[in-house]
Amino acid sequence: MKTFNSLILLSGALSSVVAFPAASLNVPNADITKPIPLDKLKAGLGALDSRSIPDFEDLLQQVEALVATTLTGDEFNADRQRVDVSGEHAFQMPDYAAGDVRGPCPGLNVLANHGYLPRNGVATILEYATAVQKVLGMGIDTALVLGVYGTVLGGNPVSLTPGVSMGGPSNAPEAQNLLGNLLGLMGKPKGLTGTHNIFEVDSSITRSDLYDADGDNNNMNMDYFMDLYNMQKDAEVPHYTLDVFLDHALVRFNQSIATNPSFYYGPWSGWFVRNAAYCFAARIFGNASEEYPNGFLDKETLKSFWGVTGPEDNMTYTKGAERIPDNYYRRATDYAAADLWVDIIENVSLKRPTLLSIGGNTNGVNTFTGVNLENLTGGIMNAEYLAQGNNALCFAFQILQEGAPSVVGSIYATAEPVLTFLLDAINLPLTSLACRNDAYKQLGINGVDFLKTLKTTYPGAAKSGVFL
């Protein structure tokens, strides 16, 4: 609830800015290509009439209702798990000519294509959380954190209905911040595709890297899909398990090293966001049944979620064609944050430690240089320590927490309410992981701040300006 209390505080803090006619504003002269502190914007406003902010109690009640609908238990229940793909939820291709957007996440794309999210591809935090929980079985805790994270860093947090485009920038009114993005001073929200090294990351499952030769980080690269597909092509019973996906993650990791001169794999963007995406795909896309109550991901289901059709010897990807299969049943138990933590620890950290590297290419392709964890704070936090319990995850979230002021500041200058909004969301997993509050403070390498070292060492971090 603390996250949504912050939403209320954010709206309240901005009420003196956003609730009045544009004609009455006296905005100071400024370079509109640069962010402006909200406190300075407020200082430049003329005399304004007051207006009450809407009652957010209904929003809080909706969140509580979502938590109450969390599915538990490992027994298959067809009535509870059946996903409706008829009527208002029938598949429809996006209308790109009308301004619809789709993005790098196939799960969000299918939800929009079936009307579980707005078909234009722009949704609020609550709409995202509701849809991924109801249809795909993602835990509401994880869904809310990711919704807040994506909205603050790619969407319109300065709004009474904060949300974000699942793809690139959208012209839809609901995708903008209030008062025309504060009269242009905040810039147009970039959407999830525009959050490089934040939400959209290198070496993803089926998208090219932003800085490789292809550069299309929004639409699917069929070659990468085929790499995944072929891992079970000749299997007697093809099943795309988490092990299959994570083996593919290793392949993509090495492909990015070889093709992206600015490849960057950060302690948050790589460790958590990128690895979590692989876990989500393997754990929540499968079609459930009596035998597999939490889902079985076969070839046809995989193809459907990624917009691929045709026989095995002539498969074709169609942009925007991601769809939920007919006769689809979601998993029996919600895939909660605790389940994700276990998967990252047991299946990533212990089985595939390469996926917990920190580093990137330093001088063109095939120059990957990793951070020597022994150098972090004189070796106090070494690889052995990070492999124990929740330490790696705590480290990733602490990095996000420590780096958030810089990232948010680069977008919103001194927009303190926006930063508070994000930090409250980050505190949810930090609390559930029982992280030590002081364990990762003042990290440094040879006396230099850790995050600054990443930015100065890796061109991919410096190029995007974000080094999480």
Reported as a single tens digit per residue, the pLDDT across 93-130 is: 999 999 999 999 999 999 999 999 999 999 988 899 99
List phi, psi (to 5°) of 163.
Answer: -165, -170
Mean pLDDT of 185-206: 84
pLDDT at position 156 is 77
Nearest to 389 by CA among 343, 345, 340: 345
The domain that holds 145 is classified in CATH as 1.10.489.10
Q: Residue 464 — very low, low, confident or very high, per pLDDT cuts 50/70/90? A: confident
State percent of the chain over pLDDT 90: 47
Range of the domain at 218: 2-464
Cβ within 8 Å of residue 145, ≥6 positions away: 3, 337, 425, 426, 428, 429
Please report the pLDDT score of residue 301 as a whole number: 99
For residue 407, the Cα-to-chain-centroid distance in whole angstroms is 15
The pLDDT value given to residue 141 = 81
Evaluate whether 123 touches 163 at the Cβ level (below 8 Å): yes
* Cα-Cα-Cα-Cα dihedral sign, residues 20, 118, 146, 402: negative
Query: Would you state the pLDDT for residue 204?
Result: 98
- Of 55-59, 79-83, 217-221, 289-293, where does mean pLDDT reach its minimum? 55-59
Paired residues of 102 in beta bridges: none
Mean pLDDT of the chain: 79
Residue 360 DSSP symbol: E
Average the pLDDT over 350-366 and give the result: 92
Rounded to an integer, the average pLDDT of 190-205 is 91
Task: Give the C-alpha separation, 274 to 322, whole Å.
Answer: 20
Q: Which of the pair, 174 or 178, is modelled with greater confidence?
A: 174
Number of structural domains, the chain?
A: 1
Cα 282 to Cα 347: distance, rounded to the nearest angstrom: 12
Q: What is the pTM of this model?
A: 0.81
Nearest 5 degrees, angle CA 248-CA 250-CA 253?
A: 110
Does position 88 have pLDDT exceeding 60, yes or no? yes
Does residue 323 have a pLDDT over 70? yes
Read off the tokens for 443.
């990290």
Residue 185: pLDDT band with limits 50, 70, 90? very low
For residue 124, list its beta bridge partners: 163
pLDDT in tens, 3-62: 333 333 333 333 333 332 222 223 333 333 333 333 333 333 332 232 222 333 454 555
Amino acid 430: pLDDT: 63
Residues 263-273 have a mean pLDDT of 90
Per the CB < 8 A criterion, the answer to whether 142 and 352 are in contact is no
Sign of CA dihedral 85, 73, 205, 309: negative
| Stretch 337-348: mean pLDDT | 88
- pLDDT greater at residue 141 or residue 213: 213
Q: Mean pLDDT over residues 414-435, rounded?
A: 63
pLDDT digits (tens, 9 = 90+) for 227-265: 999 999 999 999 999 999 999 999 999 999 999 999 999
Compute CA 305 distance to the chain's CA centroid, rounded to the nearest angstrom.
18
Residues 373-408 have pLDDT tens digits of: 776 655 556 666 766 777 777 777 777 776 666 666
Closest CA to 251 of 227, 275, 220, 274: 227
Q: How many CB atoms lie within 10 A of CB 96?
A: 12
